[in-house]
Amino acid sequence: MFASLDFSIVLQAIPAILQGLLYSLELTVVAMVGGVILGTLLALCRLSSNAYLGFAAKVYVDLMRSIPLLMMILWFFLLVPLMTGVRMGPENSALITFTLFQAAFYSEIMRAGIQSIAKGQINAGFALGMTYSQTMANVILPQAFRNMLPVLLTQTFVLFQDTSLVYAVGARDLLWAAKTVGINNGRTVEMYIFVSLIYFVICFSLSMLVKYMNKRIAIIR
């Protein structure tokens, strides 16, 4: 059963795999950076004294969190060309979908982070004569961000795994590369085993990093 496996295909496949991996990583980084920025804004909206703004942000976050990502990817990929007439291709479509989707999850993390800061910190900011936005930007958010760093990274770990779902719209990610090379050469078994290992190594390293940060940050706090 193992005798028929031929892993020499893996060597030939490396350029294709690298290209796929690069897109998966690009998707992860773009969705993380965009998601954290948008998520922080959403969190600020939810905590603001403006009830409408808070409600709108809550509806957005709850909606995103209750729809499976796979459905979101399909919605965005199929609906945007219909509504705007712009055909952007599965790769770019996924970049936007992931950013919008992850923003909801990052916003919950940032909200928890902001709420974990002692109230005295805001008062201290005001007492120094800072405005609300200055207090947020210079006092509250940096602390919230640091406290939540392990959780933000854990979410990124989930995000990286979820990038494989872009398979649904045929975006050329790591899994797509494995499948295509595998089918073209009749070597799907070897390719799937190899790419699983790549996913495992990346995710395992990331989870080790989170563990390490958890320890360090727990000590500083």
Partner 1 sequence: MNNYHWNWGIFFQTIQNGDVTYLTWIIQALGWTIAISLLAWVIALALGSLFGTLRTVPHRGLALLGHAWVEFFRNVPILMQLFIWYFVVPEMLPHDLSVWVKQMDPQISGFIFSVIALGLFTSARVAEQVRAGIQSLSRGQRAAGLAIGFTTFQTYRYVLLPMAFRIIIPPLTSEFMNAFKNSGVAYSVGVWELVFVSNQMVEETGGQVIESLIVPTILYIICSYTANRVMYFIEKRSRVPGLIVAK
The residue within the footprint of partner 1, chosen from 12, 123, 134, 196 (CB under 8 A), is 196
Which span sits near partner 1 by CB under 8 A: 36-44, 63-71, 130-138, 209-217? 63-71
Surface-to-core class of residue 206, CB atoms within 10 Å of its CB (0-12 exposed, 13-18 middle, 19+ buried): middle
DSSP class per residue in 28-40: HHHHHHHHHHHHH
CA atoms within 13 A on the CB side of 37: 6
The residue within the footprint of partner 1, chosen from 60, 98, 101, 199 (CB under 8 A), is 199
Segment 74-93, which members bind partner 1 (CB under 8 A)? Answer: 74-75, 78-79, 82-83
Output the CA–CA distances (angstroms, integers) from residue 8 to 12, 13, 158, 188, 191, in the order listed.
7, 9, 31, 13, 10
Residue with smaller CB distance to partner 1, 82 or 220: 82
Which span sits near partner 1 by CB under 8 A: 73-81, 103-111, 121-129, 209-217? 73-81
Residue with smaller CB distance to partner 1, 18 or 197: 197
The residue within the footprint of partner 1, chosen from 95, 148, 175, 210 (CB under 8 A), is 175
Check binding of 200 to partner 1 (CB under 8 A). yes
Output the CA–CA distances (angstroms, integers) from residue 169 to 48, 91, 165, 184, in the order listed.
37, 9, 8, 19
**Distance, CA of 168 to CA of 161 (rounded, Å):** 14
Applying CB under 8 A, the residues found at the interface with partner 1 are 1-2, 66-71, 74-75, 78-79, 82-83, 161-165, 167-168, 175, 179, 188-189, 192-193, 195-196, 199-200, 203-204, 207
